[in-house]
Amino acid sequence: MALRVLIVDDEALARSRLCRLLADCTSPGALVVGEVANAADAMQFVTHHAVDAVLADIHMPGADGLTLAQNLRALPNPPIVVFVTAYAEHAVQAFELEAQDYLTKPVRLERLQVALQKVERARQAAKGPEPDLTEEVLVIQERGRTERVPLSAVLYLKAELKYITVRTAGHSYILEGALSDLEARYASRLIRIHRNTLVARRAVRSLQRHHDAQEGEGWAVRLDGLAEPLYVSRRQLVAVRALVAARD
């Protein structure tokens, strides 16, 4: 997929030359999605269009390219900046602003291609590692977005009304479905401790006496990564006790 590039330069001839060079780039390719002559127009463009990389001159009327790079960094999902300038003295300051590369005019095609490769590597690094599709996950729809929660991160699942609370060490999610379906699907990973609760077998640390406000005197499990104990019903006590004994 081609990188979406915005060219920022107050000289029309310089923009035209970059367009021609970018058209010849491969691995990765580049698609010029816009050309502007100053930093203000660049900020306006980036806030309304998807841009992967900004090729920016430094010396421009008004705010210069260094100021533009600083302002871009404040955006939620900033494009990657590559400076293209006739002056080399700003290189150190440019890299302090986390510019991906610094090209001096006249730009050679080979050097521009190297800069785009750096941009592509930086984009991939920012995305993080590719998800392990062999890892068992719970797919959760939450607030208009899809979350893939690895089953290895889940501490417990608790049925509450029509939903299931999925708890990890750092977050709680709401999942639609039936607890019995999850128990059957992930029997090797989860153990039922109560009619409404499944816990991760790997996370069970201990079994202890416990008083529950609703259930009364009984037993509860402690899970690694979780402060509160979880009540164990009498029906499930034998299986939970066997799991704890097997781990000792």
Residue 95: predicted pLDDT = 61
pLDDT band for 246, please (50, 70, 90 cuts): confident
Q: Which residue has the higher pLDDT, 145 or 204?
A: 204
pLDDT band for 248, please (50, 70, 90 cuts): low
Residue 176: predicted pLDDT = 87
What integer best gives the mean pLDDT of the chain?
A: 89
Instruction: From the options 3.40.50.2300, 2.30.38.10, 3.30.70.60, 3.40.50.2020, give the CATH code of 3-127.
Output: 3.40.50.2300
Residue 47: predicted pLDDT = 93
> Which pTM was predicted?
0.54
Query: Using one digit for the tens of pLDDT, what is the confidence trace for 101-142?
Result: 889 999 999 999 999 999 999 988 877 655 555 568 888 887
Please state the rounded mean pLDDT for residues 209-238.
89
Residue 170: predicted pLDDT = 86
Residue 87: predicted pLDDT = 74
Residue 77: predicted pLDDT = 87
Residue 94: predicted pLDDT = 61
- 3-state SS record for the chain: CCEEEEEECCCHHHHHHHHHHHHCCCCCCEEEEEEECCHHHHHHHHCCCCCCEEEECCCCCCCCHHHHHHHHHCCCCCCEEEEEECCCCCHHHHHHCCCCEEEECCCCHHHHHHHHHHHHHHHHHHHCCCCCCCCCEEEEEECCEEEEEEHHHEEEEEEECCEEEEEECCCEEEEECCHHHHHHHCCCCEEEEECCEEEEHHHEEEEEEEEECCCEEEEEEEECCCCCCEEECHHHHHHHHHHHHHHC
Q: Which residue has the higher pLDDT, 169 or 144?
A: 169
Please state the rounded mean pLDDT for residues 46-69.
94
Q: What does the block give as tokens for 153?
A: 């991160």
**Neighbour-count burial of 204, counting CB atoms closer than 10 A to its CB (0-12 exposed, 13-18 middle, 19+ buried):** buried
The structural domains of the chain, with segments of one domain joined by +, span 3-127, 137-247
Residue type, 206: S
The architecture CATH gives domain 137-247 = Beta Barrel (2.40)
Residue 41: predicted pLDDT = 97
